[in-house]
Structure 1
Amino acid sequence: MVDPYPQRIVCLTEEPTEVLYALGEQQRIVGISGFTVRPPQARKEKPRVAAFTSAKIGEILKLEPDLAIGFSDIQADIARELIKAGVEVWISNHRSVDGIVAYIRRLGAMVGAHEKAEAYAQRAEQHLATVRAAAAQLPRRPKVYFEEWDEPIITGIRWVAELIQMAGGEDCFPELAREPLAKQRILPNGDEVVRRAPDIILGSWCGKRFRPEKVAARPGWDAVPAVRDGELHEIKSPIILQPGPAALFDGLDAIHRIIAAWAGCQG
Structure 2
Amino acid sequence: MSFPAAHGPQRIVCLTEETTEWLYLLGEERRIVGISGYTVRPRRAREEKPRVSAFLDGKIDKIVALEPDLVIGFSDMQAALADKLIRAGLNVFITNQRSVAEILGTMRLVAGLVGAHERAEAWVAEWQQGALALAEAARRWPRRPRVYFEEWDEPKISAIQWVSELIGMAGGEDVFPELAVQRMGRDRVVHDALEPARRSPDLIIGSWCGKKFRPEHVAAREGWQQVPAVRDGRLHEIKSCDILQPGPAALTDGLQQLHRLCADWAAHAAAAAAPTT
Regarding TM over 0.5, the answer is yes
| Corresponding position of 1:78 | 81
Match runs of 1:20-35 below 5 Å: 20-35=23-38
- Following superposition, the deviation at residue 4 of structure 1 comes to 3.3
Q: Distance in 2 between matches of 1:133 and 1:99?
A: 23
Match runs of 1:187-206 below 5 Å: 187-206=190-209
The 4+ residue runs of structure 1 with deviation greater than 3 A are 1-4
| Corresponding position of 2:18 | 15
Distance 1:229 1:180, change over 3 A: same
1:67 aligns with 2:89: no
What is the number of residues matched between the two proteins?
A: 267
Q: Which runs of 5+ in 2 are unaligned?
A: 271-277
Q: Which runs of 5+ in 1 are unaligned?
A: none
Give the fraction of aligned pairs with identical amino acids, expressed as a percent.
60
SS of match in other structure, 2:154:
coil
Match of 2:175 among 168, 172, 176: 172
| Kept after mapping to 2: 8 A contact 1:65/1:87 | yes
- Following superposition, the deviation at residue 181 of structure 1 comes to 1.2
Match of 2:61 among 58, 61, 64: 58
| Kept after mapping to 2: 8 A contact 1:101/1:124 | no
1:251 aligns with 2:254: yes
| Kept after mapping to 2: 8 A contact 1:101/1:125 | no
| Kept after mapping to 2: 8 A contact 1:104/1:121 | no
Q: Distance in 2 between matches of 1:86 and 1:228?
A: 56
Match of 2:130 among 127, 131, 145: 127
Q: Distance in 1 between matches of 2:188 and 2:5?
A: 47
- 1:93-147 deviation per Cα after TM superposition (whole angstroms, max 9, x unaligned): 1111111111221110011111111111212222221211111122210110000
| Corresponding position of 2:240 | 237
SS of match in other structure, 1:52:
coil
Q: Distance in 1 between matches of 2:132 and 2:104?
A: 13
SS of match in other structure, 2:264:
helix
| Corresponding position of 1:116 | 119
User: Which residue identity does 1:139 align to in structure 2?
Assistant: P
Q: Distance in 2 between matches of 1:116 and 1:80?
A: 32
| Kept after mapping to 2: 8 A contact 1:153/1:189 | no
Match of 2:152 among 149, 153, 176: 149
- Following superposition, the deviation at residue 41 of structure 1 comes to 0.5
1:94 aligns with 2:93: no
Q: Distance in 1 between matches of 2:126 and 2:38?
A: 26
- 1:195-219 deviation per Cα after TM superposition (whole angstroms, max 9, x unaligned): 1111100000111110000000000
User: Which residue identity does 2:262 align to in structure 1?
Assistant: I
Q: What TM-score comes out, normalization by structure 2 length?
A: 0.94
- 1:39-85 deviation per Cα after TM superposition (whole angstroms, max 9, x unaligned): 00001100111111111111100100000000111011111111112
- Following superposition, the deviation at residue 2 of structure 1 comes to 8.9
Q: What TM-score comes out, normalization by structure 1 length?
A: 0.97
| Kept after mapping to 2: 8 A contact 1:23/1:117 | yes
User: Which residue identity does 1:256 align to in structure 2?
Assistant: H
| Kept after mapping to 2: 8 A contact 1:179/1:185 | yes
User: Which residue identity does 1:90 align to in structure 2?
Assistant: F
- 1:213-243 deviation per Cα after TM superposition (whole angstroms, max 9, x unaligned): 0000000000111000101000111110000
- Following superposition, the deviation at residue 5 of structure 1 comes to 0.9
Q: Distance in 2 between matches of 1:23 and 1:97?
A: 19
1:162 aligns with 2:159: no
